[in-house]
């Protein structure tokens, strides 16, 4: 290379290198990075929140150290594959065990020196690359390339740090905001949506950082692969050889294509060319601005459609006839003489026609038989499931609202006012769920239903006020020691009627 | 002036690869270092009081 590549040149080329990287390279990277990142997130979560963190730290850290080496070995293979796309034939084989031991020996030092010295960052990435390429002395080669073009290295790291911060913030905001948006716009409520403000925690921050790292890390690898490629090329001229190879390949392609193109232009059938042009100009992407063809306008509302449908059917029939004719047309060259052969073409065609007729007949018979069921099924009335109102995990979606009201009347008649009140409360929830104002979950508390109702029934504030009042009354009786009487239960029941009237 | 391949071979002539046993020992030491680093990171995180994260 005649001049030092600038930081923007390297970054741009690194992105292009990643885009044209072979799938095997990307799979190699993900094979190493994904297990390590997932294990790291689990480890951090366990250490932060588990009451047995101290006991688990030893085994957890051992697994993490093993996965760290695993990640670095695959990352080195990924970098070598990237290098090979720039310089095919650069790798030497039979060095996998040396690569494993070198990664285990050197990369943990990088773990303990997380200082942003550009030469240190470059050295640890370069050494992985040269070890995976099977270079005789990877340490010396890595050190030589690490100290090359320091200002360019600083600039690259500066831009990549800013990009990493932006990606981290984007990932964090996406993780925090998406569950709420999904609930508001699609009505899907998962664990993340129910977490509310608690979603902003150490685990979320770690997950966002992991995503940002997964986006930036391959780019850094590509950057240092390019720096090594251009750095080595000062001595070997490999970049010139690669450029020459590309130029020769382009020239060979051009030479191969040019005579073929010339030969083609000489033997073009004018009728075929006309048909091809006609097909192209009738494509949707070219017809949107073309003026309509002049000609007599169809008269009447249905005339145009009938004419077009008739044309379509006619063209379809013509096509079918042509296909059948071509299929049945005898080929004198391939036809065997009739006397000598055991089966003539005519016999074969008759047999095929017979088989097709049999298949069509069987299909028609099957269809007609299916339409007449032998025994008419009688509707079966669904049995009402036995409901245990004392069960705390009972949810209102077990029965429709009318069923709960009927159950409430039964328990009221038996004098079990507390159970009757619970049945009425579940009837209210069933009614509100039927209107799409709440979504039923066994884990939800009355307060959560109230908040959901306030959010979804903003235009009817009296509904949420009525529900809040009823909820307090129900919780005092069901969870507390408040006594209730027939009058209070009847009022509770009337609240549902008022709720319905308000929503009508 | 010398050709590129001669320059490349001159650069690598004096470099002898380190012994396999040396790399194995260094690899084992590095693995131990990584294990210790993750272990002490875990212990440091585990020592953060639970109420720091709003637990009751």
Residue of A43, A108, A201 with shortest CB distance to B33? A108
Q: What percent of chain A has pLDDT over 90?
A: 15
pLDDT of residue B15: 47
Kindly list the residues from chain B whose CB atom is less than 8 angstroms away from the CB atom of residue A104: 26-28, 30-31, 34
Q: Return the SS3 of A426.
A: helix
Chain B nearest C-alpha distance from A257 (Å) = 34
Q: What residues contact residue A358 under an 8 Å CB cut-off, 6+ apart?
A: none
Average pLDDT (A337-359) is 75
pLDDT of residue A172: 92
Confidence band for A193, pLDDT divided at 50, 70 and 90: confident
In angstroms, what is the C-alpha Rg of chain A? 38
Nearest Cα neighbor of A90 from A241, A222, A224 is A241
CB contact under 8 A, B46 and A47: yes
Give dist(CA A168, CA A304) in Å, integer. Answer: 59
Per-residue pLDDT at A336 exceeds 90: no
Residue of B17, B20, B42 with shortest CB distance to A57? B42
Give dist(CA A3, CA A422) in Å, integer. Answer: 82
Chain B nearest C-alpha distance from A47 (Å) = 5
Higher per-residue pLDDT: A57 or A261: A57
pLDDT of residue A360: 93
**pTM of this prediction?**
0.53
pLDDT of residue A308: 81
Chain A nearest C-alpha distance from B50 (Å) = 7
CB contact under 8 A, A65 and B23: no
Whole-Å CA distances, A395 to A114, A188, A192, A440, A454: 53, 18, 21, 7, 20
Helices A96-112 and B20-46 meet at what angle, rounded to 10? 40
Contacts 24+ apart (CB under 8 A), A111-114: A111/A68, A111/B33, A111/B34, A111/B37, A112/B33, A112/B37
Higher per-residue pLDDT: A468 or A305: A468
Token code pair at residue A186: 């699609």
What are the residues of chain A with a beta carbon less than 8 Å away from any beta carbon of chain B?
43-44, 46-50, 53-54, 56-58, 60-62, 64-66, 68-69, 98, 100-109, 111-112, 136-137, 140, 198, 201-202, 235-237
pLDDT digits (tens, 9 = 90+) for A432-460: 888 888 888 877 888 888 888 888 888 88
Average pLDDT (B17-45) is 85
Chain A nearest C-alpha distance from B26 (Å) = 5
Per-residue pLDDT at A486 exceeds 70: yes
CATH architecture of the domain A396-503 equals: Up-down Bundle (1.20)
CB contact under 8 A, B24 and A101: yes
pLDDT of residue A323: 87
Nearest Cα neighbor of A482 from A491, A493, A490, A473 is A473
CB contact under 8 A, B33 and A109: yes
Whole-Å CA distances, A206 to A39, A289, A331: 12, 53, 73
Residue A235, number of CB atoms within 10 A of its CB: 13
Domain ranges, ordered by start, for chain B? 20-47
Domain ranges, ordered by start, for chain A? 7-245, 396-503
pLDDT digits (tens, 9 = 90+) for A9-39: 889 989 988 898 888 889 999 999 999 999 9
Per-residue pLDDT at A495 exceeds 80: yes
Per-residue pLDDT at A264 exceeds 60: yes
Nearest Cα neighbor of A138 from A87, A78, A85, A76 is A76
pLDDT of residue A265: 62
Per the prediction, chain A carries an average pLDDT of 82
Average pLDDT (A334-346) is 57
Kindly list the residues from chain A whose CB atom is less than 8 angstroms away from the CB atom of residue B4: 235-237
pLDDT digits (tens, 9 = 90+) for A282-328: 887 777 767 766 666 656 666 777 888 888 999 999 999 888 888 77
Q: Return the SS3 of A2.
A: coil
Per-residue pLDDT at A357 exceeds 70: yes
Could you report how far apart the first and last alpha carbons of chain B are, in Å?
77
CB A99 within 8 A of CB A78: no
What are the residues of chain B with a beta carbon less than 8 Å away from any beta carbon of chain A?
4-5, 7-8, 11-12, 15-17, 20, 23-24, 26-31, 33-39, 41-43, 45-46, 48, 50, 53-55
pLDDT of residue A116: 67
Give dist(CA A39, CA A37) in Å, integer. Answer: 5
pLDDT of residue A333: 53
CB A499 within 8 A of CB A466: yes
Confidence band for A387, pLDDT divided at 50, 70 and 90: confident
CB contact under 8 A, A61 and B33: no
Token code pair at residue A101: 């031991």
CB A47 within 8 A of CB A60: yes
Give dist(CA A6, CA A75) in Å, integer. Answer: 25
Q: What was the ipTM of the complex prediction?
A: 0.72
**Burial classification of residue A343, based on how many CB atoms lie within 10 Å of its CB (0-12 exposed, 13-18 middle, 19 or more buried):** exposed
Per-residue pLDDT at A47 exceeds 80: yes
Whole-Å CA distances, A392 to A194, A384, A444, B29: 20, 19, 12, 57
Among A271-275, A369-373, A478-482, B9-13, the minimum mean pLDDT is found in B9-13
CB A220 within 8 A of CB A118: no
Q: Which residue of A lies nearest to B55 if distances are taken between CA atoms?
A: A49
Phi, psi values for residue A497, rounded to 5°: -60, -40
Chain A nearest C-alpha distance from B37 (Å) = 8
pLDDT digits (tens, 9 = 90+) for A212-244: 999 999 999 999 998 888 888 887 777 777 778
pLDDT digits (tens, 9 = 90+) for A54-96: 788 888 889 999 999 999 999 999 998 888 888 776 666 557 7
Confidence band for B56, pLDDT divided at 50, 70 and 90: very low
Kindly list the residues from chain B whose CB atom is less than 8 angstroms away from the CB atom of residue A137: 12, 15-17
Confidence band for A263, pLDDT divided at 50, 70 and 90: low
Kindly list the residues from chain A whose CB atom is less than 8 angstroms away from the CB atom of residue B53: 48-49, 201-202
Among A187-191, A275-279, A404-408, the minimum mean pLDDT is found in A187-191
CB A423 within 8 A of CB A407: yes
Average pLDDT (A260-266) is 65
Residue to substitute from A48, A50, A89, A199, interface B, most B β-carbons within 10 A = A48
């Amino acid at each position: 290379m005649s001049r030092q590549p600038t930081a923007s040149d390297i970054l741009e080329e690194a992105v292009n290198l990643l885009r044209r990287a072979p799938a095997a390279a990307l799979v190699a990277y993900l094979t190493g990075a994904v297990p390590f990142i997932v294990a790291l997130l689990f480890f951090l979560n366990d250490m932060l929140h588990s009451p047995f963190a101290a006991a688990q730290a030893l085994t957890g850290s051992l697994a993490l150290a093993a996965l760290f080496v695993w990640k670095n070995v695959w990352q080195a293979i990924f970098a070598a594959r990237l290098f090979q796309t720039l310089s095919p034939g650069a790798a030497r084989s039979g060095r996998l065990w040396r690569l494993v031991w070198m990664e285990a020996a050197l990369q943990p030092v990088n773990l303990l020196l997380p200082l942003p010295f550009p030469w240190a960052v470059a050295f640890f990435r370069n050494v992985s690359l040269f070890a995976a390429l099977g270079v005789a002395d990877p340490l010396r080669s890595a050190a030589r390339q690490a100290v090359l073009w320091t200002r360019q290295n600083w600039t690259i790291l500066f831009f990549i740090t800013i990009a990493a911060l932006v990606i981290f913030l984007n990932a964090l905001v996406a993780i925090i905001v998406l569950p709420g948006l999904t609930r508001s716009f699609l009505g899907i409520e998962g664990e993340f949506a129910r977490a509310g403000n608690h979603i902003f925690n150490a685990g979320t921050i770690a997950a966002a950082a992991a995503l940002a790292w997964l986006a930036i890390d391959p780019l850094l690898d590509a950057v240092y692969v390019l720096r090594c490629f251009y750095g080595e090329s000062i001595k070997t001229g490999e970049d010139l050889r690669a450029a020459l190879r590309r130029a020769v390949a382009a020239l060979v392609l051009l030479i191969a294509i040019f005579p073929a193109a010339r030969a083609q232009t000489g033997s073009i059938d004018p009728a075929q060319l006309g048909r091809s042009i006609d097909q192209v100009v009738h494509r949707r992407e070219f017809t949107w601005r073309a003026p309509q063809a002049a000609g007599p306008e169809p008269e009447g509302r249905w005339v145009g459609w009938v004419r077009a449908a008739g044309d379509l059917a006619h063209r379809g029939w013509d096509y079918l006839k042509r296909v059948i004719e071509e299929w049945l047309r005898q080929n004198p060259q391939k036809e065997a003489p009739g006397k000598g052969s055991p089966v003539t073409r005519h016999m074969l065609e008759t047999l095929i026609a017979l088989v097709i007729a049999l298949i069509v007949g069987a299909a028609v018979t099957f269809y007609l038989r299916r339409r007449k069921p032998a025994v008419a099924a009688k509707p079966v009335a669904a049995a009402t499931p036995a409901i245990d109102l004392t069960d705390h995990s009972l949810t209102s979606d077990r029965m429709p609202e009318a069923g709960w009201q009927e159950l409430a009347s039964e328990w009221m008649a038996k004098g079990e006012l507390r159970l009757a009140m619970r049945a009425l409360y579940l009837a209210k929830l069933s009614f509100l769920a039927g209107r799409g104002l709440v979504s039923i979950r066994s884990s939800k508390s009355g307060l959560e239903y109230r908040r959901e109702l306030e959010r979804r029934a903003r235009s009817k504030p009296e509904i949420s006020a009525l529900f809040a009042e009823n909820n307090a009354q129900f919780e005092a009786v069901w969870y507390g020691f408040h006594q209730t009487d027939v009058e209070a239960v009847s009022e509770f029941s009337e609240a549902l009627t008022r709720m319905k009237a308000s929503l009508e | 002036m010398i050709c590129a391949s001669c320059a490349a071979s001159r650069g690598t002539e004096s470099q002898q690869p380190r012994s396999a046993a040396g790399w194995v020992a260094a690899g084992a030491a590095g693995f131990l270092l990584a294990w210790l680093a993750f272990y002490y990171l875990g212990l440091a995180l585990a020592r953060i009081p639970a109420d720091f994260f709003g637990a009751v």
